Every structure is written in structure tokens, then in C-alpha cells.
Structure 1
Amino acid sequence: MKTVIFRAGARAALLSSMLALAACGSLLKKEAPPAPVPVADTLPNPQVLLLGEVHDNAQGQRLRVEELRRRLAAGWRPVIVMEQFDRENQDLLTRAARDCADPDCIIRVMEQPRWDWSLYRPVLDLVVSYQLSLVAGNLSPADASRIVRDGIRWSMPPAMVATYLAAPVPADILDGQQKEVQAARCNMLPDMMINGVVNAQVARDIWMAKLIRDQAPRDVVLIAGNAHVRKDIGVPRWLKLADPQLNVRSIGYLEQGGSGYKGTFDLTQTMPAQPRADPCAKFKK
């Protein structure tokens, strides 16, 4: 049995790659399967609507933006919190959302190359058209790396720790997040990195919950990956901890043939899997 020794430089490079996979989708191919029929959500707008995604699935992105467009056309004006922007850039994002006349301007100003912006341009178009407030919901890669090294509490002021981490992170959340981060990395994440990467994901969810609650009394829509909007281990769990009376609704956008998400959303929309190269191929070399 071979033992792999990670040197500091190699370990840092691998960690950077692993963290990037948490926030970025696979490369898209040009062909796309026929569009599925949207699933109607007939309930009134909640205080907080969490809309998930498979990051690189173009059909899922279209279905989600149509769900949001329908609600906005009926008069709803929520704050939009997006995983695709880092919270440390909030001042710049606020100015861009206020001053830019089109979504491409926001994309240029923010310079966030980790994301395929062709998929998120329609959401930003709604932000501009309806003059919605836009909030950055993610941790920067630098902050995520620091959390991997120094723990969840590093990124949080005392008031956040008191609200969300007065008790240890529940074991079922840690277990569920570990399964998520391992699956997203083809079960190739080294054991020595697992706890740190899980901590970074938990910290993202807590920060998203905090930023959502900061918008009260305005309603909020969160645009984020499916793992973040899961009711059992994601943002809804932390919202419930901080404010049990908050009306929260979660919609997962899932690829057909997937598994492991039963009962973890209030509503699910399924669509064909996005044609993509094997994301695990790089680990098999």
C-alpha cells in the first residue's frame, strides 16, 4: 500500500483546487437536452425563498430564473442574495447594482472569474430591470482557506458566534456536509483536509443565513447551489436556529437520475443532466 506525502506547496495547490470545486461548475458542452416543463409553486411568496442550482446546468438555471421572473412580474420585490459574489466586496456590488444599466456592467465591475456568467446574466438582468437590492452571499477563497486552517469561528464576530455557535455544530450537519464535500470531489479528498473543507461549507451556510436575516423586514431570495438550500444541513437549518418563526421555502433544482436529496427541499424541479466531461477524470490520472 503506497503512502502519499503532501508537501506544503502541493498541499496548498490541492486545497485551492478542492475549495474552487465547491463554488464552480463543470465546463459546459454546446449541446443541451430539451427543456423540461416547469413545476408550478402556487404558494404565496415566503419571507425567504431559497432557489438552488446545479451550477453548470443551463436548463436548471433557465427554470429558476423563470420562477423568479414570474414572482417579480406579479409585484414581489425581494432582496437578491447571490452565492456568486463574495461578501467582502459588498460595497462595490451595491454601487454596481445601483449605477450599472445592464448585467454585463455588473459582471465587469465585480470581476469574479470563478463563475460562468452567461448562466447568471438573466438573474442580474432582473436585478437591473426591477431595481432590486443585491447582496453578496459567499466567502472569498482566501477566507475559506483561512477557515480550513483556523476553524469556523475565525470568520465570525462574537455576536454571530453567540447566535449560531453557542453549541457545537450538530453531528448530523457535519456528517451530511462531509458526504456532500466528498461526493463533490469524487471521494478523493485527503482525510487530513475533510474537516477543514466541511468547516468552510458550514461557515458559508451560516454567513448566508446571517446575511439573509440582516435584510429584515424585506423579503429575500437566495441564489445558491442545491447543497446550500437543503433544509436538513444547509442555510434553512441555520435560519431555523436563529429565527424559528421565519417563513422559509426551499426549491431544489435537481438533475434526473441523481439521488440522496429525498425530502430535503420543500419543492423539487428536475431536469436532464447537463452534458459534461467526467469531473473525476483529473483525479484518476
Structure 2
Amino acid sequence: MRLVVLLFALVLPSMSRATPDIVILGEVHDNAQAHLGQAEALKDLQPSAVVFEMLTKAQAARADADRSQISSAWEESGWRDFPIYAPIFEALGKARIIGAAVPRATLRAVYTNGAEAHFGPEATRYGLHEALPEPEKKNRMKLQFEAHCEAMPFEMMAGMVTAQRFRDAAFARAALSALETYGPPVAVIAGNGHARIDWGVPAMIARAAPGVTTHAIGFVEGDTDVPFDETRIVPPVDRDDPCQSLRTE
């Protein structure tokens, strides 16, 4: 009897825990195991809609209307390695496919002119009208500098941070729109940098819609100090150094 009671006590909290309105599934883009993990998460969640960082609104609409068009929409998007993303699409079930990719022309304009001017009337709702606190700005510029192989002037990273904020807000807006249209839960497929809870998509959602609950899972290749609600470690990919071609002797 004591064993039964103990097991019940252990299981009850997870059974009673409410499903979040929006679940953000981070990834390492070229890691197939990360995508398998995302696919399993989708099977468990059974979302009403899935928002993709990789697809534009038009590409996603075409894929959603005719699932046989998914691979061609992916190819049109310019993202590579569709076979390692295929398990995600196979796990969608009846979930609607939503695109949130920001066109490159828009990102170039954001880099030059700022995020607020190009986001539309909801810019204030997502905080895009506000300058970042200086310590956060410098930290984010440092991360962008490292992500770009330290091959560009550090000062240029301010525009990169602005573009990143714009994309986080765009993904959050797409997720909230899907939530309103299709109901909970909604999933978001995006890179780990967008899934972080301190300033990524979860933070944008919290700013724009404080009553909406989120849960961010980072699929990472090892120990990380990037904050997620949940971290799942996947085997690392054996890849070439992406910065090697930019180094000089």
C-alpha cells in the first residue's frame, strides 16, 4: 500500500500540471537528433498549430493547404537539409502549419532603420520602441560577434541585435495569432537563440500577452548557460569549423 501511495504522489504533480498555451522548441539547426526530439515533443503535445522560423507566411500556407507541397515550400525557403526536418512535419498530425520567417529585404531595412519603423503598429506592444539596457545590449552584441566568427566589426553587431529582436517579436506575434485562431496549445520551431527565456520569443510573449503561458525547451549539444525552462541534451554533430574559411594565416 505504501508503494502505491508513493507512486501516486510522484505521478500526480505531472498529471495535474496544466499544458502551456505556447511551447517553444529550440534547436541546433544541423542536428538531426534535435529534430527527432522536437518531433517527439510534438507527438506528446498534439498542438493545434506549429509556427516555423523557416517558412514565410505564403510558403507555410501552401504547405498547410497541401501537405505534398511541404518539401517544395522548404526548398523555396532556402533552408537546407529537409530530410533531417522531415520527422517534425511527420509528427504534425492535424496541426496547422504557420510561417513566421522575416524576408531578408525587411531584415536589411531593420538593420539600417531600426525595428520599430518596420514592425507596424504593434511595435510598442513587443517593446521594440525601447532601447535595450546597456549591459544586455553589450552581452547580445558579444554573442552575435562570436556567432559571426568575429569576422565583422564589433560595432556592426548592434544592427544584428536589432534584427534578432525583430525576428523574436515576429515569431511571438505569429504564435499569439495562431493561439487566438486555433486555440492552445501552439508550438514554435526555432533556433535555440530564439527559445531562450530571458530575451527570446518567451520574453516577447510575456511582454505582449502576460496572461499567456509558455514553456521553452532547448535541444542543445552539451552543457549550456543559455536559460530555458527545460534543457534536453542531444549528441553533438561532427561538423567542420564554420569559421575556418574566414581565418587567415
TM-score (norm: length of structure 1): 0.74
Q: How far 1:216 sits from its partner (Å)?
A: 2.8
The answer to whether structure 1 residue 79 and structure 2 residue 49 are counterparts is yes
Partner deviation per Cα, 1:13-58 (whole Å, 9 max, x = no partner):
xxxxxxxxxxxxxxxxxxxxxxxxxxxx875421000000011111
Q: How far 1:202 sits from its partner (Å)?
A: 0.8
Amino acid in structure 2 at the alignment position of 1:152? A
Q: SS of 2:122's equivalent?
A: helix
Partner deviation per Cα, 1:87-140 (whole Å, 9 max, x = no partner):
xxx23421331223x3xx21214511233211211212233xx23211112212
Q: Cα distance 1:194–1:259, how it changes in 2: closer, same or farther (>3 A)? A: same
Aligned to 1:140: 103
| Unaligned residue ranges in structure 1 (runs of 5+) | 1-40
Query: Residues 243-254 of structure 1 correspond to what in structure 2 (within 5 A)?
Result: 243-254=209-220
| Unaligned residue ranges in structure 2 (runs of 5+) | 1-13
Aligned to 1:231: 197
The answer to whether structure 1 residue 46 and structure 2 residue 20 are counterparts is yes
Q: SS of 1:215's equivalent?
A: helix
Whole-Å Cα distance in 2 between the matches of residues 126 and 240 of structure 1?
A: 27
Whole-Å Cα distance in 1 between the matches of residues 52 and 133 of structure 2?
A: 26
Whole-Å Cα distance in 1 between the matches of residues 40 and 126 of structure 2?
A: 35
Whole-Å Cα distance in 2 between the matches of residues 139 and 58 of structure 1?
A: 24
Whole-Å Cα distance in 2 between the matches of residues 280 and 226 of structure 1?
A: 20
Aligned to 2:11: none
Amino acid in structure 2 at the alignment position of 1:284? R
Q: How far 1:170 sits from its partner (Å)?
A: 4.1
Note the aligned Cα RMSD (angstroms).
2.1
Whole-Å Cα distance in 1 between the matches of residues 189 and 58 of structure 2?
A: 19
Q: Aligned match of 1:108 in 72, 79, 82?
A: 72
Q: Cα distance 1:281–1:61, how it changes in 2: closer, same or farther (>3 A)? A: same
Q: Cα distance 1:67–1:199, how it changes in 2: closer, same or farther (>3 A)? A: same
Give the total of aligned pairs. 230
Q: How far 1:166 sits from its partner (Å)?
A: 4.6
Q: How far 1:60 sits from its partner (Å)?
A: 1.4
The answer to whether structure 1 residue 118 and structure 2 residue 83 are counterparts is yes
Q: Aligned match of 1:94 in 49, 55, 61?
A: 61
The answer to whether structure 1 residue 57 and structure 2 residue 31 are counterparts is yes
Asked if 2 retains the 8 angstrom alpha-carbon contact of 1:228 and 1:235, the reply is yes
